């Protein structure tokens, strides 16, 4: 199984990237092949505008397509997921179609990105993906990870472990059924 993580923040002082990186490390420890797409390093132009450099559009699309399952990681901005992630999602449909997709959010506040996660799950369904019902929510993200993207609290490690257990179970079940039914 191959998991693709899409990190949906590009701000210089971003905190949610630590969550994306920690998820990657934990999946690799479980023997899972992981591709982490960092939209700060592979920026996409505004969808629909002509004359922009679209060289990363194909690259990101291929990386998403190669994943058996996807985890979307986003901060919560003004009660929703990031604009850069929405822009990225607007480019792709086939890459998400009939794939298991997990949502992980982080916020500076105590609500942990609950609004962003709910909205993002709705978008996943609109893209034809299978949204994992369980959400990974990280409150006060600025206090959650150290500079090496390691959790500062046991509760974060435990939440990530439970989330990944559920995500992998869900992803393996969906992928096995797709393979059984020969669905691409």
Residue pair 79/56 in contact by the 8 Å Cβ criterion: no
Residue pair 44/57 in contact by the 8 Å Cβ criterion: yes
Q: What is the pTM of this model?
A: 0.95
First-last CA distance in the chain:
15
Q: For residue 152, what are its two tokens?
A: 């500062």
Q: What integer pLDDT is reported at residue 55 of this predicted model?
A: 87
Q: How confident is the model at residue 10 (pLDDT cuts 50, 70, 90)?
A: very high
Mean pLDDT for the chain overall: 95
Q: Which of 8, 16, 29 is nearest to 161 (CA)?
A: 29
Q: How confident is the model at residue 115 (pLDDT cuts 50, 70, 90)?
A: very high
Q: How far apart are CA 33 and CA 22, in angstroms?
A: 14
Task: Tell me the average pLDDT across 112-139.
Answer: 97
Answer whether residue 46 shows pLDDT above 90: yes
The domains found in the chain, sorted by start residue, are 2-180 (3.40.50.360)
pLDDT per residue over 56-104, tens digit each? 999 999 999 999 999 999 999 999 999 999 999 999 999 999 999 999 9
Higher pLDDT, 50 or 81: 81
- Residues across the chain: 184
């Amino acid at each position: 199984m191959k998991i693709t993580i899409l990190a949906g923040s590009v701000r210089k002082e971003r905190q949610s990237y630590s969550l994306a990186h920690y998820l990657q490390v934990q999946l690799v420890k479980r023997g899972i092949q992981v591709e982490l797409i960092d939209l700060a390093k592979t920026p996409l132009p505004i969808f629909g505008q002509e004359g922009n450099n679209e060289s990363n559009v194909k690259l990101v699309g291929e990386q998403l397509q190669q994943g058996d399952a996807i985890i979307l990681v986003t901060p919560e901005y003004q009660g929703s997921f990031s604009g850069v992630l929405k822009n990225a999602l607007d480019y792709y449909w086939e890459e998400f179609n009939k794939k298991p997709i997990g949502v992980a959010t982080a916020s500076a506040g105590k609500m942990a990105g609950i609004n962003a996660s709910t909205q993002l799950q709705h978008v996943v369904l609109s893209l034809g993906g299978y949204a994992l019902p369980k959400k990974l929510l990280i409150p006060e993200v600025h206090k959650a990870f150290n500079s090496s993207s390691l959790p500062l609290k046991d509760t974060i490690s435990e939440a990530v472990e439970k989330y990944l257990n559920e995500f992998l179970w869900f992803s393996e079940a969906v992928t096995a059924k797709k393979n059984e039914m020969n669905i691409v």
